[in-house]
Structure 1
C-alpha cells in the first residue's frame, strides 16, 4: 500500500487549499477597500456594499456551470482560468474612475473567477478521499480561513503605503502566481490515474471504479437536496454581512477602521480553527447534525454582534462567528458527497451553492441600505440571525445520509 504521505490526493488537497487561499484572500480583502472606495467615489454604504455582494452572488451562482464543466474536462483548466480572471478583474478595478467601473472589474472579475475555481477545487478533494474525506476537506477549505486571515491586513498595509489602486495591482500579481501553482497541483479523479481514493490498493486484476452516486437531475428530486439548499440560502443572508460591514461598524462605535480590519483578521483565525475543530466533532455527531449546529452557532453570534459596542465583545463575536462560518464551509461539500455520491458531485455542489448566491447578493446591501435609512445595523443583523435559526430547524428535520440511502436502496 502506498504510504499516506506519498498519496497523490494530498497534493490535490494542497492545490485546493492554495486555490481557495488565493481567491478568498482577494474576496475578503474588500473590507480594507470599503473606506477608500466610499471616499474616492462619494458612495453610500449600500452602493459600496454591492461591490462585494455582486462578486459573492456570481461566485456562488457560477458553481453549477463550473462544476458541470469540471466534471467533463477536469478541474485543472477551470481552476487556473478562474484565478487568472480574478487577476484580470483586479487590474481593471485599479483603473476605475467611477464606482460602476469597480463593479465591472472587481465584482465581475472576482465573481467569475472564484465562481469557476472554488467548486471544481473542493469537488476534486471529495473524489480523492472517502474514509478520510472530512479531514482532507477540512484542510482544503482552511485555505478560505487563511485567505481571510491574510487578505484584509495585507490589503490594508498596501493601501496605507501605495494607495488602493496599486494595492489592487499587487494582489493581481499574487493571484496570477497562485493560479499557476494551484493549477499544477489539482488533478482529476483518482481512477484516471489507475488509483483508488484514500490511497487504497486497486483490487487484483481489476480497474479502479469510477465514482458512483446520483446525477444532478436525480439529486434535485430528493428532499435532502432541498433541505440543504433552502437552509444554506437562509443562512447566507447574514453570513457575509460581517465581512463587508465590520470595518464601518467599528468606525461607528468609535473603535476605528484599523480595529475593524483586525476583526476581519480574527474572522479568518476563527474560520481556520473552526474547520479543523468541527472536523473532529463530525465523527461523533454525524455530518448532518454537525452541519445543523453551524446554523444555530452563527445565528447566536449575530445576536451577540447586534448589541456589541466594546472591543472584547466584538473580538469574541469575530472569533466564534468565524469558527461557525468555517465549519459550515468545511462540512457542506462532504455532506453533499455523503448524500449524493461522486458521480456528478461537482454539479450537485454547484447547484447547492446557487442558493447561497441570492443571500450573498441581498444580505450585505440590505444591511448597508438599512444603515443609510435607519442609522443602525441592528435590525438587519437580527433578521440574519432569525434566518439562521430557521435553517437550523430545517437541517434538524433532514434525514441522516446513511439511513436515507438505505431507504432508497430498493428503488435504485
Structure 2
C-alpha cells in the first residue's frame, strides 16, 4: 500500500505562474508601448512610418524566433537564469534606445534589447508552466500569459504619461529601470520542474518512497514532421502576418481619423483589457470544452474583429474593435503552449514551443513593417487590414482541416 504525503500551503506552481505573469507583463508590455513612440520617433528622425515600424518588426522577429534556441536551452539548463538575463537585456535595450542619436541606433538598441531579452525569457517560462500543471494547464497558461494583456493595458498608458512628462528619451529610461527591478526580481522565483522541489504537477499528493517517472513526449524530430505540428505551424504563420499590426498601427490610424493622441493610446489599453479577459476566461473554457476547438475559434474571432477595424473610423467603433480583438488574441496566445503540450507531451515542450514560434517570428517581421510601407504608398491602412482578415481566414481553413483529420484519427 502506497503512503502519500500532501503538500502543505499554497502550491508552489502558482508562484511560478506569478513569476511568468511578471515577465510577460514587463517584456511584452514594454514591446507593446511602441505604438505610443511611433509618432515621436518619426518626428525626431524625420523617418517614414514604414521605416519606424521596422523597429518593432525586428524586435518581434527576434523575440519569437529566438525561442528555437532558448527553448532547448531551458529544457537542458532550466528557465530561471535565462529569464533573469532576458529581463536585464530588456531594461538595457530600452535605456540605450533612449540614448539613440539615429534611427539605426534605435534598431540596434530596441531591436536587440527587447528582441533578445524577451526571446530568452518568454518560451522558457511558458514551457515551465506546462510542466507544473496538467488538469489546470489551460487556466495556468492563461494566467501566465495574461501578463501580456495587463502589460498592454497598463504599459502604453504609463509610456504616454512618461513621454508627456519627460519626453520619449526619458520614458525609455524609466521603462528600462522598471524592467530590471520587477522583471529580473520576479524571475528569481522560477523553478523549472515540480520535481526539483519534490512535488507533483497540480499539487497532487507525492508518493512517499516512489520514484519519479521520466517526462513523456515526442522526440523533437518526430514531432515537427507530424501533421499536427505542420498544421499548427502553418496556421500560426498566416495568422501572424496580421496579428501584431494593431499593436503598431492602431494609434496612428486613430490619429489619422482625428482622435487626439491621449485618447488614441487608450485603444491599446482596451486591447490589453480584452486580452487579459481572454487569457483568464478562455483558458478555463478550453480546459472544459477542448483546447483544439477553442483555438480554432480564436482564429475565427480575430478575422471577425479585423473586419470591424476595416470599417471603423470613430473612437467608439475603434474601441469595440480593440476589445473584441483583444479577447480573441489573448485566447490565441494562452492556448498555443497548452495545445503543444497536449499534442506532444512534456519531454521537449520548450523546444517545440520555440520552433512553433518561429512562424510567429516571420509573420511579425513582415506584417507590421509591410503595413507601414503600404500606408506610406497609399496613405491608407485599408490594404493591410484586409490582408490581415484574409490571413486569419487562411489560418482557420488550415487549422480546421488538420484538426478535423487528427480528431478522426484519434477516435
Does 2:31 correspond to 1:27? yes
Which 5+ residue runs of structure 1 have no aligned equivalent?
Answer: 408-412
Shift of 1:405: 8.7
SS in 1 for 2:38: helix
For 1:82-161, list aligned pairs within 5 A: 82-161=86-165
- Whether contact under 8 Å (1:149, 1:267) holds in the other structure is yes
Provide the rounded CA distance (Å) in 1 between the counterparts of 2:106 and 2:318. 30
Would you say the 8 A contact 1:294–1:324 is kept in 2? Answer: yes
Compared with structure 1, are the counterparts of its residues 5 and 249 closer, same or farther at alpha carbon in structure 2 (3 Å cutoff)?
Answer: farther
- CA distance in 1: counterparts of 2:170 and 2:280, whole angstroms: 35
Partner of 2:251: 247
CA contact (8 A) 1:339 1:401 kept: no
Between the aligned partners of 1:228 and 1:123, the Cα distance in structure 2 is 17
Equivalent pair of 1:88/1:109 in contact (CA under 8 Å)? yes
Distance in 2 of aligned mates of 1:197 and 1:400: 30
Q: What is the Cα deviation at residue 406 of structure 1?
A: 5.1
Q: 2:383 aligns with which of 379, 382, 405?
A: 379
Matches of 2:208 and 2:160, distance apart in 1: 57
**3-state SS in 2 of match to 1:376:** coil
Paired position in structure 1 for 2:178: 174
Q: Describe the superposition over 1:327-357 as per-residue Cα deviations: whole angstroms up to 9, x where unpaired.
A: 0000000000000000000000000000110
Secondary structure of 2:207's counterpart equals coil
274-283 vs 253-262, which moves further: 274-283
* Cα distance in 1 for residues equivalent to 2:252 and 2:9: 45
Q: Which stretch shifts more, 59-68 or 255-264?
A: 255-264
Q: Match of 2:403, SS?
A: coil
1:251 deviates by: 1.1
Corresponding position of 2:81 = 77
2:276 is aligned to 272
Q: Which runs of 5+ in 2 are unaligned?
A: none
Distance in structure 2 (CA, Å) of the matches to 1:374 and 1:303 = 19
Q: Deviation at 1:152?
A: 0.6
Q: How many residues align?
A: 407
**In the alignment, what sits opposite 2:196?**
192
Which of 7, 14, 17 is the aligned partner of 1:10?
A: 14
The TM-score, its normalising length taken from structure 2, stands at 0.96
The correspondence of residues 222-371 of structure 1 with structure 2, limited to 5 A, is 222-371=226-375
Cα distance between partner residues in 1 of 2:289 and 2:379: 42
Q: Does 1:66 align with 2:47?
A: no
List, as ranges, runs of 4+ consecutive aligned residues in structure 1 with deviation greater than 3 Å.
Answer: 1-5, 399-407
Q: Hey, what's the Cα distance between the residues in 1 that align with 2:24 and 2:123? A: 10
